[in-house]
Amino acid sequence: MAVEKQYLADVEEILSHRYDNGGDYWATSDRRLQKGAPFSTLESVLYLLELGVEPTEPVLKEAAESIFSTWREDGRFKLSPQGAIYPCHTVHAAEALCYMGYASDARLQKTFQHLLSIQYADGGWRCNKFSFGKGPETEYSNPFPTLTALNAFRFSDYNNTEPMLDKAVEFLLEHWTIRKPIGPCHYGMGTLFMQVEYPFRNYNLFVYVYVLSFYNRAKRDKRFLEALQELEAKMVDGQIVVERIVPKLARLSFCQKGKPSALATLRYHEIIKNLG
């Protein structure tokens, strides 16, 4: 898919932020790849891919090498030169590389094996970091990193063949019932969750339905179908309308708040195709 003329200005806007954080490819000078939101390395490459930039373009190939440079032999990704390595770091890096076409790369295959080896008892992924203290809700996995992991795994041969991924899907479906904030990072399903956010950046209704639609375990589940119904109730004339956007992305035409998004609507059609 080539970039359509109407989105060329969006591509240029994203590229204009390439050095904002002090390094190249949207990274900081000390090569932190998640800093500088919403124009971090991991986010910016996903925006460009969403707009139709080919993964073979030099800027994306070089950004991919920058991400791979943080890969460890045990399958983890160390996205910052300082501090601990958390599962959420690894799943976000893996997700970006999968979108860029590297799911079959031997390094990512090792990452998938690593992630399966560290799944928490409830089927999700959980970081041992307790910013909100240690209440009973922190005994759950973190829903958004779990959803992000599933978004990476859907590109792999593990999709709909690995029982442990079904357990992760069930964990997320159960969150639809629980609704309250759970996990050490307190991911909930309140007002903000129910607002359609695009492009996919945070835990919200749209990305929740989108990712789960790739998994057979979810497709006919009552909880998933309720979430899909909630998403469809927000559509206008068959189009996805963006309800929430980070202010720094307001200049991009493909995701304007309060307006239908053709590219977001394509993602909705992908959901429907998955269910078919």
Instruction: Please determine, for residue 145, whether its predicted confidence score (pLDDT) is greater than 70.
Output: yes
Contact in structure between 3 and 51 (CB atoms under 8 Å)? yes
Say what percent of the chain tops pLDDT 90: 93
Task: Tell me the C-alpha distance between 204 and 172, whole Å.
Answer: 12
Average pLDDT value for residue range 47-71: 97
Residue 61 burial by Cβ neighbours in a 10 Å radius (0-12, 13-18, 19+)? middle
At residue 133 the predicted structure's pLDDT band, cuts being 50, 70 and 90, is low
At residue 137 the predicted structure's pLDDT band, cuts being 50, 70 and 90, is confident
Average pLDDT value for residue range 19-36: 94
Instruction: Please determine, for residue 7, whether its predicted confidence score (pLDDT) is greater than 70.
Output: yes
- State the pLDDT at residue 204: 98
Cα separations in angstroms, 252 against 140, 218, 234 = 36, 33, 22
- State the pLDDT at residue 135: 82
Instruction: Please determine, for residue 131, whether its predicted confidence score (pLDDT) is greater than 80.
Output: no
Instruction: Please determine, for residue 1, whether its predicted confidence score (pLDDT) is greater than 90.
Output: no
Mean residue pLDDT of the chain comes to 96
Average pLDDT value for residue range 99-124: 98
pLDDT in tens, 167-180: 999 999 999 999 99
> Which residues in 208-245 are b (16+ Cβ under 10 Å) and which e?
bbbbbbbbebbbebebbeebbeebeeeeeeeebbbbbb
* Angle between helical axes of 87-99 and 41-50 (0-180°, round to 10): 30
Task: Tell me the C-alpha distance between 99 and 126, whole Å.
Answer: 23
**How many separate helices (H) and strands (E) can be counted in the chain?**
12, 0
pLDDT in tens, 199-210: 999 999 999 999
Tokens of 32: 């932190």
Cβ atoms < 10 Å from Cβ of 253: 16
Task: Tell me the C-alpha distance between 2 and 53, whole Å.
Answer: 6
At residue 132 the predicted structure's pLDDT band, cuts being 50, 70 and 90, is low
Instruction: Please determine, for residue 130, whether its predicted confidence score (pLDDT) is greater than 80.
Output: no
At residue 124 the predicted structure's pLDDT band, cuts being 50, 70 and 90, is very high
Tokens of 70: 């943080």
pLDDT in tens, 210-268: 999 999 999 999 999 999 999 999 999 999 999 999 999 999 999 999 999 999 999 99
DSSP string, 106-156: HHHHHHHHHHHHT--TTSS---S--TT---GGGGSPPHHHHHHHHHHHTTS
The DSSP bridge partners found for residue 236 are 239
Task: Tell me the C-alpha distance between 147 and 150, whole Å.
Answer: 5
Task: Tell me the C-alpha distance between 182 and 256, whole Å.
Answer: 30
Average pLDDT value for residue range 124-136: 81
Task: Give which of 164, 162, 166, 169 is closest to 146, Cα–Cα.
Answer: 169
Rg (CA), the chain: 18
Task: Give which of 219, 243, 100, 241 is closest to 169, Cα–Cα.
Answer: 219
pLDDT in tens, 87-106: 999 999 999 999 999 999 99
pTM of the model: 0.96
End-to-end CA distance of the chain: 23
